[in-house]
Structure 1
Amino acid sequence: MKKNLHEELLQLIEAEPTNESVLDLLCQIDDNIQKIIESRFQGKRSERLEEKINGSIFKAFKDNETGYSINNYLDIIINRVEKILGNSEKNISEILSELGIFALHHSQTLLIANENKNKGVIKGSGEGYVESYNNDKLKSLLEILNGLGIYGDDIICHIGGVEKNMMRKYGYIYIQIPQLNRSVLISDGSGENTFVIKGLPKDAYFFQSTKIDIFNDFEVDSIPYTKRWGELILEKLQEDFIPKIKMKEKISMFTTSELLNIFQNDKRYHPDILMKSSAKNLKQINIGGYNLTQIARLFHIKGAENILGEVRPENKKLHLAYLLKSIFGVGYESIMEVINLSQSQEKAPKEASGWKVKSQQLGYFPEVLLSKTQAELKLCRVCGFTLSEIAGELKVADTYGIKG
């Protein structure tokens, strides 16, 4: 067991306890524990085996040598989630963000009152997500989803406001769960039922619809908050459970404009952050159940598979830049710098004579280059290439020992 694996898990639990990557790391740790068990005890097992070896397994990397079992990690996850959900100082938006769940905020009310049916879209006060929640239903729902293998980065939440003249104190949260082909309307307001909807209706529908309307337009189960609430929610959610959804089915669940909205409103997906992200972090991005490569295909980005594929780092960044350009436009230097560099390199000459002309156009004559320091030479670029890269193109780097 490596220390960095243990530390990485604790850091991820602190940052995003409902992220699926937490489960991945737990599985890695469990595999390592099993290997240690087999090697130390040569296949002999007992009911109290984990208890006996708990401290010794982690002795090599845990300063206090108390050790962590899988159950210890699970307790930490539960405590972290409960701490976030129980924070009365934070609004629902901040709570969902801490759990790694993307939330879209709407000034309109989700599920309008019957008397406002013909008044058009109703603007709420915003109190639906400004006031504190006790989060009992939301907490229970997230636990149920985790049990089905669905995590914070697999769902999208829409948070609406509350009309001033409504009896309802808290607004509804509309949660889309693509992997289950189900949606949930949930409110922690007293006496408010939870609605499980078959399918993934667009959020705009609920701005002009009442509770009566949704029963007329969709297959809906209304579940009161009783002792059997969790049992009934689980039953209705997993009726059409599909472990994996095909690419085309997944993509069709969200329109391009919806994905644009997600990217442009979540600071985690800011171009400057994504362009600096490691390949590992890019692989962990999951929006509504699909990754960056799948999203790039939706935007018809040529070479989309290269964003997460086993290719050169500069190739990954180029295709990521094209995706972000489609989403955010040309106003970001971090995006355009990569694209402009690639376009410049495409115009690079193939022969030595061509490189000579390009170099001299930039003032890179022999006497000028020979007068530069090593640090200055590393900054020189011709058609976007460093001098060492040009030497490699001309196949003279090894001959003349040109490096860096």
Structure 2
Amino acid sequence: MSILVKDDTITAIRDGYVGAEAIPAPKPEHVKMVELQNQFVMAGMVDAHTHIVDPNLDFGMGLYNVGFMVRGGATTVRDAGSVPEGIFPLRQAIAEGSILGPRILASGSPLTITGGHADFRNGKLQAELSPPLYSRAVCDGVDECEKATRKQVQFGADQIKVMASGGVSDDSDTGLGPAFSDAELRAIVDSAHRLHRTVMAHALSAESIKAAVDAGVDSIEHGDFLNEEVARLMAQHHVFFDPTLYVLVAIQNVIDHPTPSIPMTEKNIRKFHELMKTAPPIAERMALAKRFGLTILAGSDDGGTVTDEVVALVEQGHLSPREALVASTVNGAEAVHLSDQIGTLAPGKSADVIAFDGNPLTNIEDCHKLHFVMARGRIAVNPDTGEGDPTPASSLPK
């Protein structure tokens, strides 16, 4: 097959090999040929849960992250919470072509309760004097929750992220159960949907998953304590499931190989080990997701790439390679309402194309052998010509 691209769009897909002379252009030399006959070619992947700009507004790290993500195979990412002052300008710069990176669907600040997961004022006595940027969407009570939701939309949020439960990577110690009241959650979801935005909910415990689904959220993130009751409820309401399996590997790597740039307190480590000890086995909850027909997404969260997550979905979650690849393409496109533009290779769609050495349908580890990445018609990785940066798909030990 030959994929024909003009600017940022796939214009045709033809059988066989099409030479430059067969493509309409002022001169044959104006046609750039990319040879991928020995590679596995597919649509660019959708990382459905990631974080780009950190709480300290480190824009340089944000620039590094978008490069790391696109070199890892993600041509579209759904940012699950970043500093508004960083993520929205970065999204715009990529959309305008000033920076080469993945298409960004941005949430802005994640909504959380006072003292909840992602309230980075936790444990700081001076918090009221100088709250970090990341904690600007702390909201309590229905009115505050409605306003915080509208504020993120005002900034330009593509979707709303809500911390519907506690978590392990913060300094609070309030458990993993529901954070917001039912009325607060409904206010957030109703406000978001009224403004034509979806809601992605960080929810770990079964109780918090149920509360989020009852409130009408569109996707459950993590869902570590997924059980039969909530899996059935998610299926009934057509809620996406984004299990973010690789982040568990990434956190364990940080614990085993501590670094000043990614601090982990004793409290964080204790909460993580307790989560791993008490949550159902990964294969068990993924089997539930499959049994109830949940639409599974591929989200790397922190510390890896979308290809890392795809491999984890197979090796830890026991999905078939095909199911994992669909999770990272077709399903991701559906979750961000861009199925008409991304997720498959077809004429008229965005020129988001990746290629692997080997065949991930028969060996999922071949996802780590990225050979070529094109994002909206721009080449990010091509070792044959030296274009882009052929950085390995992950900087973490496997």
Name the TM-score class by shorter chain: under 0.3
Bigger CA radius of gyration? 1
| RCO comparison, higher one (Cα < 8 Å, 6+) | 2
Which one has the bigger helix percentage?
1
Q: With structure 1 as the length reference, what TM-score do the two structures score?
A: 0.25
Which one has the bigger strand percentage?
2
Q: With structure 2 as the length reference, what TM-score do the two structures score?
A: 0.26
